[in-house]
Amino acid sequence: MDRFDVVIVGAGIAGASLAARLAGRCSVLLLETEDQPGYHTSGRSAAFWQASYGGAAILPLTLASRAPLAAGWPLAEEETGWLRRRGALHLVGAGDETAELVAVLRLADPDWHEVDRARLEAVAPGIAPRFERALAEPSTTDIDTGGLLAACLATVRRRAGRIETRAQLRSARRDGEGWRVETASGSLAAGTIVNAAGAWGDAVARCCGVAPVGLSPRRRTVVQLRLARTALRDLPLLIHEGAEGFYVKGEADNRVWVSPLDETADEPCDAAAHEEDVAIAIDRFERALGWPIEAVERKWAGLRTFSGPGWPAPMVGPDPAHPGFAWAVGLGGWGFQTAPALSAIAAAALLREPLPPLPANGRPADYLFRRS
């Protein structure tokens, strides 16, 4: 029977980035239920890095991750990183409260600034009159999420780690100081199990005889529209976070991605876009910009999983109540933009090393697993 120091359940960005940190320092197996890593949430990311996204609770992780992402982490020899400059405009209408956003922007981006109506109209012609101004966040970038995930997986393999797909965890029980693990592809032994299963995190815990934590999967919808206008690829990310929120991201010369920023409670599943959410996304786009739509080309949804009530951030590291069991869950849609920093904290906690420092007065211990 094969034995590994660490078995990580889930090969999305949470599990893959942690495996990349650990491989070469201990024996690592990355288990994935699906035919390919990143099939669910990681494969459906909107693919942008935005320092303000997630607010003050996520900001330290995001800021700490920017330089590694720009340098092509975890491939040290990568000459061009995973980021491409885009910029963002937070749309502001009459009566919109902006104090909290401004406070975060002051920490997130030294070049943030206000954009008046005339400049906003020049960037997004025909934008609805209700948007009187915008708050610019120039540091916002696209992330090559596919490249980053592939780099993490390649690093695992290069450092003698193992990745198994179609290997669903069926059960695990304590066996002395370790675990006897049963998967769809056979039996194995593990010193530590890391639960990086995203929306399925509570189910994986139960399979291991570990108490669940009340993870909260929330569905988010994205629609790709082909428009009767061009020069949209470099459009700044347009976001309205108030009532009837949405974002618009240029995807190609005449295509955009639109999301209604929905957060609908859902069960762990192969999420699909619901027609009513697609309709809401299109309606908000038309009322905000009115750019002629030629076709609805694609629609999809992913599950953004949160750590549960009262916990606004990811949680990683050993479970004090269950020796040999650790967590890397609750990434809430921030997985790619925080991967270098969060995986470093998780790896340090597992290896019992000092936690790495964080900028913006961040405290790495705030992201360690604990039960409410």
Please determine, looking at this structure, whether the domain spanning 3-51+145-215+309-367 carries the CATH number 2.30.30.40.
Answer: no
Helix (H, G, I), strand (E, B) or coil at 252: strand
**Quick one: how far is CA 219 from the chain centroid?**
13
pLDDT truncated to tens, each residue of the chain (372 aa)?
799 999 999 999 999 999 999 999 999 999 999 999 998 877 678 789 999 999 999 999 999 999 999 999 999 765 679 999 999 999 999 889 999 999 999 999 999 999 999 999 999 999 999 999 999 999 999 999 999 999 999 999 999 999 999 999 999 999 999 999 999 999 999 999 999 999 999 999 999 999 999 999 999 999 999 999 999 999 999 999 988 999 999 999 999 999 999 999 999 999 999 999 999 999 999 999 999 999 999 999 999 999 977 677 899 999 999 999 999 999 999 999 999 999 999 999 999 999 999 999 999 999 999 987
- pTM for this one? 0.96
> How many CB atoms neighbour CB 168 within 10 A?
17
Dihedral sign computed on CA atoms, order 368, 49, 81, 297 = positive
pLDDT the model gives residue 79:
62
Q: What residues pair up with 89 in beta bridges, in sequence order?
A: 136, 238
Cα(139)–Cα(155) distance, rounded to whole angstroms? 28
pLDDT the model gives residue 41:
77
Cα(23)–Cα(261) distance, rounded to whole angstroms? 36
CATH of 84-141+216-305, one of 3.40.50.170, 3.30.9.10, 3.30.465.10, 3.55.50.30: 3.30.9.10
Q: What residues pair up with 297 in beta bridges, in sequence order?
A: none
Residue span(s) of the chain under CATH 3.30.9.10 come to 84-141+216-305
